[in-house]
Amino acid sequence: MMLADVMAVLLLMVLIVYVLLAGADFGGGVWDLLARGPRAARHREVIAHAIGPIWEANHVWMIVAVVLTFTCFPTGFAVIMTALHIPVSLMLVGIVLRGSSFVFRKVDPAGEGGPSGWQTVFAVSSLVTPLMIGVVAGTVSTPALGYADGVVSGGFIRPWTAPFPWAVGAFTLALFAFLAAFYLPLQANDETLRRDFRARALVAAAAVALTGALAASLVGGAAPHLAARLLGSTPGRLVLLAGAAALGAAATSMARRLWFLARSFAALTAVLVVGGWGWGLHPWLVTGAVRIDQAAAPDATLRLVGGILATGSVILVPAFAYLYVTFHGEVLFPRRRN
């Protein structure tokens, strides 16, 4: 592998970690919005407890991904941020509003259990942000963005308003809600609440399957390179089959109340989805416009960034492990639940 490919793999790994951690936080906001009935306040309490201690730390991975992109692949970063500045801006606004409203609602007189202005902002931004993340990922998978002689072409509206990017956006939203729903039963100490989240998890698994099928039905016409890699090759088909099998295993485990196993298969599903997308995109950073090798910074820069990343990981990874064990040790190492 070229050094640029190594850095691209590291970038993909960081994105996978972000989806597994922060993605579940956004999914928790989806279920916060959809909380209804006499136990709605208790549902929101469990969701807030799951998100509360760690949501800010999870965005470290987004920061790492952004820094890796503009440092290691400056041309690709420039193209994405120029051509997709509208959905990227909406995504960033959603991240800011979601985080601030999550804190402000703590001191809102309406409280976390009932409707309030901050409650609404938190829930809506939890929908908008995953949707925009998927729209950006879907757009860079298509040849709609052009780049030549330092000029970005294709327009600032048309590429990301096509059906395929929005199908990927819906799939991303469903995937985040799916992760949250499969994580939350282990956060609940009440059998009734676990049963409620179990029902939502099974609905979310069906939503992932349906939105994934929708995106797959559009990929051939909208993203032929991605389709050829994932649908037209043996490795690609194996990744898709593995992802479908992991999704089915997660749903089966949840239906049988195997909480920890269900969560593990849900995480594996997300890993295969994001990893498969990254593999399908190769060798492009922006399909048809910017290749990984063309966008890469000089090798000296890549080596320096790689060294800094390796050194920083010695501090970052143990710190995250300590954070999660401190606040969610009972979830990471659950006792047997019938």
pLDDT at 186: 84
d(CA 44, CA 120): 13
Residue 108, pLDDT > 70, answer no
**Mean predicted confidence (pLDDT) in 123-133:** 92
Confidence of residue 337 (pLDDT cuts 50, 70, 90): very low
Query: What DSSP letter does each residue of 4-27 carry, written as one string?
Result: HHHHHHHHHHHHHHHHHHHHHHHH
Confirm if 168 and 142 have CB atoms less than 8 A apart. Answer: no
Closest CA to 243 of 275, 290, 286: 275
Alpha carbon separation from 196 to 18, 254, 256 (Å, rounded) = 26, 12, 14
**Mean predicted confidence (pLDDT) in 35-52:** 82
Residue 41, pLDDT > 50, answer yes
d(CA 136, CA 165): 7
**Mean predicted confidence (pLDDT) in 148-172:** 93
Q: What is the mean pLDDT of the chain?
A: 89
Confirm if 261 and 202 have CB atoms less than 8 A apart. Answer: no
pLDDT at 72: 96
Per-domain residue ranges of the chain: 3-332
**Mean predicted confidence (pLDDT) in 17-31:** 90
Write the single-letter amino acid at 39: R
Q: Which of 66-70, 112-116, 127-131 has the lowest mean pLDDT?
A: 112-116
d(CA 193, CA 159): 42
Confidence of residue 114 (pLDDT cuts 50, 70, 90): very low
Confirm if 1 and 260 have CB atoms less than 8 A apart. Answer: no
pLDDT at 54: 72
**Mean predicted confidence (pLDDT) in 65-73:** 95
pLDDT at 335: 56
Residue 215, pLDDT > 90, answer yes
Q: What is the pLDDT of residues 296-327, one digit of tens each?
A: 999 999 999 999 999 999 998 898 888 878 87
Q: What is the pLDDT of residues 250-280, one digit of tens each?
A: 999 999 999 999 999 999 999 999 999 999 9
What whole-number percentage of the chain has pLDDT above 70? 93
Torsion of CA 80, 171, 18, 323, to 10 degrees: 150
**Mean predicted confidence (pLDDT) in 187-214:** 92
Give the dihedral sign, CA 193/57/292/294: positive
Residue 196, pLDDT > 60, answer yes
Confidence of residue 109 (pLDDT cuts 50, 70, 90): low
Task: Between 189 and 15, name the one with better pLDDT.
Answer: 15
Write the single-letter amino acid at 312: G
**Mean predicted confidence (pLDDT) in 116-129:** 85
